[in-house]
Amino acid sequence: MRVLRQAGAWPLLSAGAQADLPALIRAEWNLETWLLHDGGLSFGLEGTARLQALSDVVPSGLAWEVAAVPPLPGAREWQRPGWFSTLKARLEGVLSEHGLSVAGPLKLLSSNDLGTVVEAAPSSDSVFLKVSAQPREVAVTAHLAQQHPALLPPVLHADAATNTLVTRSGGILLDGVGELEAWMAALHQLARFHTTADAPALAALGCPTFPLLDMAQRVDAFLSDTPTLTAWGLKPEKIATLQAARPAIRASFGALAAHGLPNLPAHGDAHPRNALASAGASLWFDWSEAASAAHPFMDAGWFLAFALHPARANLPIRIAYPDLESRLCEAYLHALGCPDASELLAQSIPLALLHRAVLYDAQFRDWQGTVPNWRPQYVPYYLGLAAGEIQRLPTLTH
């Protein structure tokens, strides 16, 4: 393998640096590069970043040198040398089938062990390529594109062999939109998916089921496991808050079950940055966590928790509508056909967050990725959010 060398030491990048490494390299050496792996720098670790130069021409002071570079253990396709060329060829092939071509540089939007997303601009409209470590996402997206074409952005390509999706843009991310109609449309679409999607077809594609009462038991068992909560780095005071609330959590799950709304197909990660708004329409994307059956309030509760978080008080929609919670709840429940369940939906916000924490614990407790001694921190994130929303539960004693 060829690597770039320079006389003297490379500039030092501090652990935890959140800087755009390609931008730093462009500023320092006028060299265009593609980030393959940041080595854990963004997680505060002392890793070694890996980038791919996009040209053989290098500035003065740098030189190519043949060197033995050990492969990155467990590297995904998009974290390996040569990925940029592979990606570009794959994208050009897809676009050519639709009479399009790549115009201008490709933009890397995200890249981690779970997947990578790249944006191209072949015309006035953007195209997005996603390669996922989760093969089910391609199959589910292709299925939904056929059965519910108005639900998601236009799919140009879905290849299960390479876990590759190519879609057109469906608008702008919902959290940047200040018009209430767009938010209501997104929730109407979500409720329509809950009530019309083909659960057996999703199950046949490998989508799991998370029945409400089973999840209630899993949540209670998880919250009783102090060593696991501690191992996730949850602070003792938050553990105490959640464990003290176990009776109220059990009661709220029971009240939700008694209401009678069935388990239905679920998006699995329904938040406003997985929804798009454009010309009065609303679309949903990122179906990597879709379930063939779950209580629909687990989707709606997470959507509300995301939108109503104090850190998002300056969102355009929050500024425009101080009563946003009641407006969104009314819109969703009306579309779902249970307008009487507003109190239950409000109580479901912490339950939905605990639901997510349990699922991520199952996925990542023993997870081994490409950054040594690090695992995705979704579990403490959702537990922390849930602890902050526990006051929504009625005070019950048993």
CA distance 276 to 182: 9
- Please check whether residues 213 and 164 belong to one and the same domain: no
Number of domains within the chain: 3
Residue 279 has pLDDT above 90, yes or no: no
Q: Is residue 322 domain-shared with residue 207, that is, in the same domain?
A: yes
Structural tokens at position 336: 């779902």
The CATH number given to whatever domain includes residue 132 is 3.30.200.20
Between 375 and 121, the more confident residue is 375
Domain extent for 153: 77-168
- According to DSSP, the β-strands at 209-210 and 291-294 are parallel
What mean pLDDT, rounded, does the chain reach?
92
Three-class SS of residue 241? helix
Whether 246 and 121 map to the same domain: the answer is no
What's the pLDDT at 44?
A: 81
CB of 291 closer than 8 Å to CB of 209: yes
109 neighbors 20 (Cβ within 8 angstroms): no
Decide if 94 contacts 157 (C-beta within 8 A). Answer: yes
Q: Are residues 264 and 368 in the same domain?
A: yes
For residue 71, being part of any structural domain is answered with: no
- pLDDT number for residue 387: 97
The pLDDT, as a whole number, for residue 397 is 43
Mean pLDDT for the stretch of residues 111-135:
90
Considering the domain architecture, whether residues 279 and 326 belong to the same structural domain is answered as: yes
What is the distance between the alpha carbons of residues 303 and 168, in angstroms, rounded to a whole number?
24
Tell me the pLDDT band of 15, cut-offs 50, 70 and 90.
very low
Q: What band does 30 get if pLDDT is binned at 50, 70 and 90?
A: confident
Residue 293 within a domain: yes
Is residue 1's pLDDT more than 70? no
**How many percent of the chain have pLDDT more than 70?**
94
As a whole number of angstroms, the distance between CA 286 and CA 61 comes to: 44
Would residue 72 count as lying in a domain?
Answer: no
Q: pLDDT (tens digit, 9 = 90+) per residue, 345-358? A: 999 999 999 999 99
